[in-house]
Amino acid sequence: MKQYIKIIMLVTIVAGLNINLGAFHFANDMCGSFDEIYSASIEGYVIDGASLYFQASSDLMSFYHESEIGGKGIYNSEQALAYVNSAIDHLNHSKARYLEAALLGTTAGYDEERCRCLKEFGYDNFALQRGLMVTVMGKVKGYLSKGNVIGLYNKIASDIDDLTVRLNNIKAQLESGTAPQMPELWELLQKFTETTLFGNYATMSGQTAFGYY
């Protein structure tokens, strides 16, 4: 539980920053797995998708801010709804970029020599050395240890879709004048945190496997 609290705090801090955090990426730096002709375009889609995802995260943190101060009886439901709508819009566009990356990756085909770096990487030891969550790294390993970067992009798109569904449910409640239930908000934040970590761990693993860091 303490580890989750620390992670949620990290995600909250990052979402609110407007500076360039070069070490905190979301499924970046695996374009080297593909044919060189296409790799830059694929990475461009991923960068756009990550940027939109973190814009959505900023919206989501602002929404949670409204929810939190609601405890003082000053809850602004219209502002909360605006944040939710913005988050949904950003997530929809983010999902589209990851799907475009996956589609172009299918066209490009893998560079098998480069993929070998991912297949032979020691994910378990890396997680242990970095103090990472084993369950999340296990999911990353399930894709990258097979060289399945396209599958990983599709997984992220699916997770983003899950977040969007949850937000649309909250949107419907706000529009009807009903305050979202706390367990629903907790589950949304946990899903967002897990999705963020999955993308971050993928980047960390890919960058290390390819020898970037």
For the chain, the residue count is 213
C-alpha 51/C-alpha 25 separation (Å) is 9
The single-letter DSSP state of residue 27 is: S
- Which has the minimum average pLDDT: 52-61, 105-114, 153-162, 185-194? 105-114
pLDDT of residue 142: 97
pLDDT of residue 28: 62
- Per-residue pLDDT of 160-178, as tens digits, reads 999 999 999 999 999 999 8
- Per-residue pLDDT of 6-36, as tens digits, reads 444 344 433 433 333 333 466 665 666 787 7
Structure tokens at 99: 């799907």
As a whole-number percent, the residues of the chain with pLDDT over 70 amount to 85
Place of tokens 């103090």: 131
Could you tell me which of 12, 37, 22, 26 has the C-alpha nearest to residue 109? 37
Prediction pTM value = 0.85
C-alpha 116/C-alpha 121 separation (Å) is 8
C-alpha 204/C-alpha 69 separation (Å) is 35
